[in-house]
A and B are shown apart, each in its own frame.
Chain A
Amino acid sequence: MTTQTETPSSSAVTSIEVEAVDRALIDASTRAPVMFFYTTALTWLFAATVFGVIASLKMHAPEFLGGWPALTYGRIWPAFTNTLVYGWGCPAAIGTSIWLMARLCRVALRSPAALIIGGIFWNIGVTVGVISILSGNMRPFELLEFPRSAAILLFIAYSLVSVWGLIMFNKRRSGHIYITTWYLLGAFFWFPWLYGAANVMIGHTHGAAQAGIAAWYMQGLLGLFFTSVGLGAVYYLIPKVLGRPIHSYYLASLGFWTQALFAGWTGMTRLTGGPVPAWMPTVSIAATIMMLIPLVTVTVNHVLTMYGRYDMVYYSPTIRFTIFGAFAWSLSIFAAIITSLRSVDRLTHFTQFSAGQFQLIVYAFFTMVMFGSMYYIVPRLVGCEWLSATFIRVHFWGAAYGMGLVILMLFIGGAAQGDAWLDPQLSPALVIGYFQPYMIARTIGWLLIVLAHLIFFLHFLAMLFRLGQPSGEPTLFAAIEEGGDHV
């Protein structure tokens, strides 16, 4: 141990100071696993970005890299979605969950080793899975492409994290259970069940029922796992940075339970018009309509919590990213309700519109919230502040405009594509002509995202090696007049 500096002011310790040091100790205890998950997640995010650019290019330049079997569109697209979801999304979610869980339960993490072992297993699993996809060893179900060997590794890894989460919850020192904890408990519990059940059942079923299981899994992953972690983080970060309580306990509670009840039922909208009995998509469409309730409650709760303090997006990077993500979530549920209806589905089904909805949830909502929480959490773990507000600004605008452009082009292009398919006179090659211009614009959006991710990745590396600002002031976009205690 180093020299011990006696604190002369120890006699005048206030309860706020006690709490602060308490928090500092808890934060410090989570440093190793959280930074491990974040670092690997960002590395995979970079890989996903490269895959995304290649896949986007191939939609209008099909001969580009055409001689490489591993880079065929049919392989690069699942490689992109899987690295985005399992390489970046889940580890980022786990990292944020660990930190939030430890903080909300007010328990220091005793043995980070189990979590780091889980993280190592997870990353080996993702590596095996992505290499398998690129070499053609994959299963033909969206987000279940990883072969069994990789799936088992992911399952073991997440189970370790889940068990840790429950132990943590059991030892908690805080009295009331905050809404974020509900969402995190749900996520810890739902993911292993979803992933385990889907993988086992896919292996033992055949025919149309198998497609039903894949659809149930895909929507469950987005609507229960990613939404839970994302909304959990939003529910923590907004009131925390603002220093005011969540608008209403009852709204939060209603939003959580309706989400839990209905989101799992929405999957069969992916099979509307397909070879499954009519009641399956009908039930899912009805459940999607019921998602109106969590959509309105959660949105109203966030809007009213922020009420009068929207100027914070000018100062706080965390708030800017988080609010962007929260509104993207509302938009994604709204789009899901509209497109689930059969009269709209006949236009948007089987088109790039559905790819746009996927990226709206996984990127515009979840990824942006994760960026926001990283801007909040990382300084507390490494003990220095983000290097440059300009870097953060470039990151935000690159990611927001880039993904905004990508999603907008996928929506418009998807609608044009669907409209062209509805006209039986147009041959498939002509249909392509109707949406290809939008695909070129999408590639431009991806280039902005590359820039944003490159900046953020370097910025994060600087923080990892403690090259950030040592000052006690947070890195904000602009100085706050009333005093600088927000990040």
Chain B
Amino acid sequence: MKQNPEDLRTAGLHRGAGHIDYRETSDVTEVHSAVTREKAEPGFGSVPVPLWLMAVAGVAIFWAGAYLGMFSGGFSGDVFNELSGMPKTQTKATQGGAGGEQAKGPSVAEEGKRYFTQNCVSCHQATGLGVPGQYPPLAKSEFVNGGSRRVAMILLKGLQGPVKVSGGQFNGAMPAWEKTLTDKKISAILTYIRQEWGNKAPEITQDQIAAARKEFASRADSWTEADILAVPADANLEGGAPAAPAAEKK
């Protein structure tokens, strides 16, 4: 393989297939017909870049430049939201998504569903059926469907230790939610779970929760099953007007 390619070339041409050696005996042009039948090596045409393509490039440059100018956040390492460099009105308009919905006024149950999704679904599941042995079901649960007092107590302060719900035993720890959820959110969640999955219990208002919060303010620990069962099953929270359709317009 030390030969000069120039030599090889003429050798290949004049002495046949000896140096190419595909099939030992045949002639190069015959064996390598794929190569000889080929068209010439490709070259270039010289059509200039059309004008409309210049226009496309111009559009791209303008578009990209405008995008860069609007959303660069001043190239600062501290700006993570691309809208923070925008004029205030624009930022408000985009953020209005959530606010706009509130202006329309979602029903208490809709709001409750939203807070339930954020806070409760990971244990009690979207189906309200919970997890066997761990998290009790809310659907058809006697605690959820009974008076408003028991269920509000559990939500505010949490529940420790084993508990029997709808005939099944459960042992997951229910955290206290009073520190993380507002009265409005708690009442919305309670109203939602009491009226979803075939449950048919009256709604619970924000004022009722505020009153309950005050009432149990001195209690530090979570409840146990015994604490809850000590409260009558049909006891309601003070202040509310149970099954009052007027409260719905609130």
Task: Mark interface residues in A241-263 (1 if CB within 8 Å of B CB, else 0).
Answer: 11101111111101000000000
| In the assembled complex, B1 has its CB within 8 A of some CB on chain A | yes
Assembled-state Cα–Cα distance A1/B25 (Å): 10
Contact of A472 among B30, B61, B65 (CB under 8 A): B30
| Chain A residue at smallest Cβ distance from B66 | A286
| In the assembled complex, A441 has its CB within 8 A of some CB on chain B | no
Contacts of A472 in B (CB 8 A): 30, 33-34, 37
Binds A, one of B13-21, B145-153, B158-166, B228-236: B13-21
- Asked if residues A249 and B38 are in contact (CB atoms below 8 Å), the reply is no
| In the assembled complex, B216 has its CB within 8 A of some CB on chain A | no
Assembled-state Cα–Cα distance A2/B15 (Å): 11
| In the assembled complex, A94 has its CB within 8 A of some CB on chain B | no
| Inter-chain residue pair count (beta carbon < 8 A) | 213
| In the assembled complex, A167 has its CB within 8 A of some CB on chain B | no
- Asked if residues A5 and B22 are in contact (CB atoms below 8 Å), the reply is no
| In the assembled complex, A145 has its CB within 8 A of some CB on chain B | no
Contact of B13 among A4, A21, A300, A426 (CB under 8 A): A21
Contacts of B117 in A (CB 8 A): 424-425, 427
- Asked if residues A277 and B27 are in contact (CB atoms below 8 Å), the reply is no
Q: By CB atoms of chain A within 10 A, which of B31, B81, B113 has the most? A: B31
Assembled-state Cα–Cα distance A245/B47 (Å): 11
- Asked if residues A293 and B18 are in contact (CB atoms below 8 Å), the reply is no
- Asked if residues A277 and B25 are in contact (CB atoms below 8 Å), the reply is no
Contacts of A293 in B (CB 8 A): 56-57, 60
Assembled-state Cα–Cα distance A481/B63 (Å): 49
- Asked if residues A383 and B32 are in contact (CB atoms below 8 Å), the reply is yes
User: In angstroms, how far is the closest chain B Cβ from the Cβ of A63?
Assistant: 19
- Asked if residues B68 and A283 are in contact (CB atoms below 8 Å), the reply is yes
- Asked if residues A383 and B36 are in contact (CB atoms below 8 Å), the reply is no
| In the assembled complex, B95 has its CB within 8 A of some CB on chain A | no
Bin the interface of chain B by size.
35 or more
> Which residues 49-74 of B have a CB within 8 angstroms of A?
49, 53, 56-57, 59-61, 63-65, 67-68, 71-74
- Asked if residues A278 and B82 are in contact (CB atoms below 8 Å), the reply is yes
- Asked if residues B20 and A24 are in contact (CB atoms below 8 Å), the reply is yes
Contact of B39 among A104, A254, A287, A485 (CB under 8 A): A485
- Asked if residues B82 and A290 are in contact (CB atoms below 8 Å), the reply is no
- Asked if residues A2 and B32 are in contact (CB atoms below 8 Å), the reply is no
- Asked if residues B84 and A278 are in contact (CB atoms below 8 Å), the reply is yes
Assembled-state Cα–Cα distance A342/B30 (Å): 60
- Asked if residues A4 and B56 are in contact (CB atoms below 8 Å), the reply is no
Which residues of A approach B to under 8 Å, CB–CB? 1-7, 10, 13, 17-25, 27-28, 103-104, 107-108, 110-111, 176, 178-179, 235-236, 239-243, 245-252, 254, 275-279, 281-283, 285-287, 289-290, 292-293, 296-297, 300, 304, 342, 379-380, 382-383, 385, 424-427, 429-430, 472-474, 484-487
Sample of 5 further A-B pairs with CB below 8 A, known A27-B32, A248-B49: A4-B16, A20-B38, A248-B45, A282-B73, A342-B71
